[in-house]
Amino acid sequence: MSRFPKLTETFVLYEMLAMEQLGVQVEVYPLLRVRKTTAHQEGANVWVKIVELFSRTQGDLTMHPESASFVERANFEPFFSWHMLPAHLHFLLRKPLTYFSTLWTLIRATWGSLNLFLGALSIFPKTVYFAYHMEADKVTHVHAHFANHPAAAAFIIHRLVGIPYSFTAHGADLQVDQHMLCEKVREAAFVVTISSFNKELIIEKCGAQYRDCIKVIHCGVDTSVFSPSRKDGEAKQRDTPFTILCIGTMYEVKGHVYLIDACRLLKEQGVDFNCYLVGDGPFRPALAEQVEQLGLTNCVFFYGQRTHQEISDLLKGVDTLAVPSIPTSSGRREGIPVVLMEAMAAGVPVVASGISGIPELVEDAVSGLLVRPRDPEALAAALKRLYQDPALCQRLGQAGRDKVLQEFDLHTNAALLAHSIEQVRSL
């Protein structure tokens, strides 16, 4: 993965834990060690990542407790160190053509994308070192999360030592910049996408001949951790303000500005509500200013970053989750936000934007409500509909949990990934 331990990427952490429960031995090779408690800027470029690499840890690093064992044994390495030279000499002496052809492919395939070009060159020294030790340690398969830099690292390792690899394509990693995508797909044992929407994007870019090797395996959530706090058929009593929860790093793609504007409309319409914004990020100061300017400080609150268990606890006491995602001018889009799965598993009715792979999880008026992106009026109307109709909340909450149990369960989907890897090993 790109960064570890990253608080917002629970889907990576809990997939690894689920794989271990299936008996798979998991070793972790992060490209960057997280050192800051605050979120990095949206779509951070390589320079930002290099600065982060050499930064000292700021404050007490917030991470999920379950990641501690992985952090202790993770293979954290700098971008370059003299102790990596023997690995490079090994391949230069024994496989010089492979070494230079791999480097040339990285340069050629990423040319035209400054971020991917500099990223490929910066990770090359440490990835060669990883390849050398993976071969010595008899690693049998490499799986990378994200189609950009991590998939490039898996490509390098495969080229140098022949270990088969796969990668999971999520959202912006696939949609913003597709340089080198086809080379990664061509040499992968298989490719995972978290949505059918993403699968079709890859096929459109790389060709229909790869359709059979692209597997749709949804990210999943632990449905025993995220479960309803009320019994089936028991509606929540409306003796307190209607509570709206929004969880996500405060980036443009998350659409917080439209939710805050929708809150203004709800207040004007006399809706008694509280909205809680959970997360942090570069847009937080601007969002706080927007809340103050609109006179919403008594009903819109910032909760900062929260751990997995804290999110689970929060979901037990809210009426709805709002995920007002938007496509950005740079091409960034959500995949299928995991927080939607968590809320639905907890029986919380959701309101989300009907873009990207989200409709594969949320069926409008069946397992949640979908609205147009960048439309605060539609968002406010959907939230008010839930406020006025507790029975609808109950029905959508139950249908949402059923949907997650059927298609987005963590352990079921981790087993699908483990089976796919085992099929490669048995060839």
Q: What is the 3-state secondary structure (H, E, C) of 152-168?
A: HHHHHHHHHHCCCEEEE
- Sequence-distant (6+) residues with CB within 8 A of 11 are 145, 219, 220, 338
Q: For residue 353, list its beta bridge partners.
A: 371
Distance CA 65, CA 225 (A): 15
Please give the pLDDT value at position 130. Answer: 98
Is the predicted pLDDT of residue 182 greater than 70, yes or no?
yes
Using 50, 70 and 90 to split pLDDT, how confident is the model at 68?
confident
Q: What is the pLDDT of residues 269-326, one digit of tens each?
A: 999 999 999 999 899 999 999 999 999 999 999 999 888 889 999 999 999 999 999 9
Please give the pLDDT value at position 401. Answer: 97
Residue corresponding to tokens 């960057």 = 32
Please give the pLDDT value at position 38. Answer: 52
Average per-residue pLDDT for the chain: 91
Helix, coil or strand: residue 216: strand
User: CB of 202 within 8 A of CB of 193?
Assistant: yes
Distance CA 342, CA 220 (A): 9
Q: Which residue has the higher pLDDT, 137 or 33?
A: 137
- Sequence-distant (6+) residues with CB within 8 A of 184 are 147, 151, 152, 154, 155, 167, 191
Please give the pLDDT value at position 60. Answer: 54
Name the pTM for this structure.
0.87
Please give the pLDDT value at position 48. Answer: 56
Distance CA 419, CA 299 (A): 48
**Domains of the chain by range and CATH?**
3-220+410-425 (3.40.50), 242-407 (3.40.50.2000)
Is the predicted pLDDT of residue 24 greater than 80, yes or no?
yes
Using 50, 70 and 90 to split pLDDT, how confident is the model at 46?
low
Q: Which residue has the higher pLDDT, 421 or 331?
A: 421
Q: Give the range among 48-57, 199-208, 381-390 with minimum mean pLDDT.
A: 48-57
Q: What is the pLDDT of residues 232-250, one digit of tens each?
A: 555 555 678 999 999 999 9
Q: Give the range among 51-55, 124-128, 200-204, 359-363 with minimum mean pLDDT.
A: 51-55
With left for phi above 0 and alpha for psi between -120 and 50, is residue 44 left, alpha or beta?
beta
Helix, coil or strand: residue 412: helix
Q: What is the pLDDT of residues 104-155, one digit of tens each?
A: 999 999 999 999 999 999 999 999 999 999 999 999 999 999 999 999 999 9
Please give the pLDDT value at position 187. Answer: 97
Please give the pLDDT value at position 232. Answer: 52
Please give the pLDDT value at position 41. Answer: 54
Please give the pLDDT value at position 369. Answer: 98
